[in-house]
Amino acid sequence: MPSATTVSGRRVAALYTPGDIAALDYQRDLGDPGEFPYTRGIHASGYRGKLWTMRQFAGFGTPEETNARYKQLLAAGGTGLSVAFDLPTLMGRDPDHELSLGEVGKCGVNVASLADMEVLFSGIDLGAITSSMTINSPAAMILAMYLVVAEQQGADWQTLSGTIQNDILKEFIAQKEYIYPPRPSMRLITDVFAFCAQHVPRWNTISVSGYHIREAGATAAQELAFTLRDGIEYVQYGIDAGLDVDEFAPRISFFFNAHSDFFEEIAKYRAARRIWARVMRDTFKAGNPRSWQLRFHTQTAGVTLTAQQPYNNVVRTALQALAPVLAGTQSLHTNALDEALALPTAETATLALRTQQIIAHETGVTEVVDPLGGSYFVERLTNDLEEEALAYFDTIDRMGGMVEAIERGYPQKEIAESAYLFQQAVEARERIIVGVNDFIAENEDPLHILYIDESAAGTQLARLAKVKAGRSQAAVEQALDRLKRAAAGRENTMPPLLDAVRAYATVGEMCDALRAVWGEYVEVPVI
């Protein structure tokens, strides 16, 4: 008998009836799509008005190689770009730093200075497309680079659109790509909120991310709770920094995981919208409906991909992708079949995009908004997930907030516990993973995978040396000094960062300037 629990360990009944949702009030708890509390979606017309953005995360090697992949994805019908940076860039280290050895261009594209950003977007009109950039500790530096490239292309910042992930809290909780301690990290984020509210009003200044929290082992309820509680923390810090809630809240976006448990995932997205709408209207007293509307990107669960029988991953990904579509996601990334082994090849990346196109154009699921609304099961699950998330909010509030909870290691421990329980269930074969602990194939043909060689490092080191030789060192030092003074005081750090970028200061130099002022965060390792 298959176990009667979801992938998150939630017990499920064999049948749900009207009794499960007896207390549900349509107007209060669901509302029509486009109406508060947006449980059924933020757009009245669902996908009839506009399909979700098919945004495939990509980046590897040099800016030249990644630029070519972007052009291929756009030519194949992709409708937005999504930049994956390598670990040196994500950690604010230049390619010539000793910690960058062996990491340049491996997990994403290497960007050390404006010169790299110019190549990355060469021949791509930043005024015409939207870009998502997955970067957190050095988010302000990379956003500044993007803005300067847009400026060079003649694109207007007022109409420029895209997303910078800029979500440091989930780095402390899950992905661990942090540089500075939590409080100065939050300062950098509210500086981006304030700057963009004025100068880049259509930019999504943060993508509050549950994706990485889930990948680290969280349950669906933990992903929901920690992500939304992170969102609340950012709103509070923005208000504390002197911003009006409606000035920046409409530009907050979210990013969730699409894991394997179909109905639980659908309920999770619906609960997220309802919780956020109520918190923003009732707790933060936001007056602009756009501040109430939770917009989200989704990515299928990388952690569910298996190295064994990798073609099974196409099926997993297609089923996972259907859940956020049925729940009204704004954009979607579908993983490629080979991602348990390597970064995707051009062929597998195209197949991943095709998966979305088939859902969008062949299945008919886009024609009706929130087609599962009113299902006894889905509504009950939505209520249950909301209730569990609110209980986590209470616990975190009692600790003083999410920053304080992180400093105590609370969400980190909760996630580690869930990850271990899941692994034990797999070992005990209480949970079956096809091709891994059941239905195993003995002799599998090896897959042709993308092998990132060492040449990217050479190209990047050469360009870095050329940039350093060709720029005005005095201008760089002046800009970095101004950045340090802003960081030590209260001036917004974005204007000095833009000047540093224009002077071709590197990511490592800008991050080091702030390291000198704010110090670095070191996690206490616990198991």
Partner 1 sequence: MDHKIRVVIAKPGLDGHDRGARVIARALRDAGMEVIYTGLRQTPEQIVAAALQEDADVIGLSILSGAHMHICPRIMALLEERGLRDVLVVVGGIIPDVDIPKLNEIGVRGIFLPGTPMQDIVEFIRKHARARVETA
Binding footprint of partner 1 on the chain (CB under 8 A): 87-88, 90-91, 93, 99-103, 106-107, 171, 175-178, 215-217, 303, 306-308, 340-342, 416, 419-420, 423, 427, 433, 436-437, 446, 449, 451-452, 522-527
Which is nearer to partner 1, 20 or 215 (by Cβ)? Answer: 215
> Under a CB-based contact definition with an 8 Å cutoff, are residues 392 and 225 in contact?
yes
Count of beta carbons in the 10 Å neighbourhood of residue 242? 10
CB of 186 to partner 1, least distance (A): 19
Which is nearer to partner 1, 194 or 510 (by Cβ)? Answer: 510
CB of 308 to partner 1, least distance (A): 5
Of 138, 242, 254, the closest CA to residue 185 belongs to: 138
**Six-digit token pair at 465?**
């040396």
CB of 151 to partner 1, least distance (A): 30
Q: Rounded to whole angstroms, how far apart are CA atoms 173 and 212?
A: 9
CB of 371 to partner 1, least distance (A): 34
Of 287, 378, 300, the closest CA to residue 334 belongs to: 300
CB of 426 to partner 1, least distance (A): 8
**Six-digit token pair at 164?**
């910078």
Annotate 266-335 with DSSP letters as a single string: HHHHHHHHHHHHHIIIIIS---SHHHHPPPEEEEE-GGG--SSSTTHHHHHHHHHHHHHHHTT-SEEE--
CB of 188 to partner 1, least distance (A): 18
**Six-digit token pair at 385?**
């997930």
Burial class (CB in 10 A: 0-12, 13-18, 19+), 434: middle
CB of 527 to partner 1, least distance (A): 4
Q: Cis omega before residue 37 (within 30°)?
A: yes
Which is nearer to partner 1, 67 or 306 (by Cβ)? Answer: 306
CB of 277 to partner 1, least distance (A): 32
Quote the longest CA-to-CA distance of the chain. Answer: 73
Which is nearer to partner 1, 180 or 203 (by Cβ)? Answer: 180
Question: How, if at all, do strands 206-209 and 203-204 pair?
Answer: unpaired
Which is nearer to partner 1, 171 or 265 (by Cβ)? Answer: 171
Question: How, if at all, do strands 206-209 and 252-258 pair?
Answer: parallel
Question: How, if at all, do strands 80-84 and 53-58 pair?
Answer: parallel
CB of 231 to partner 1, least distance (A): 22
Range 110-140 burial, b when 16+ CB lie within 10 A, else e: bbbbbbbbebbbeebebeebbbbbbbbbbbb
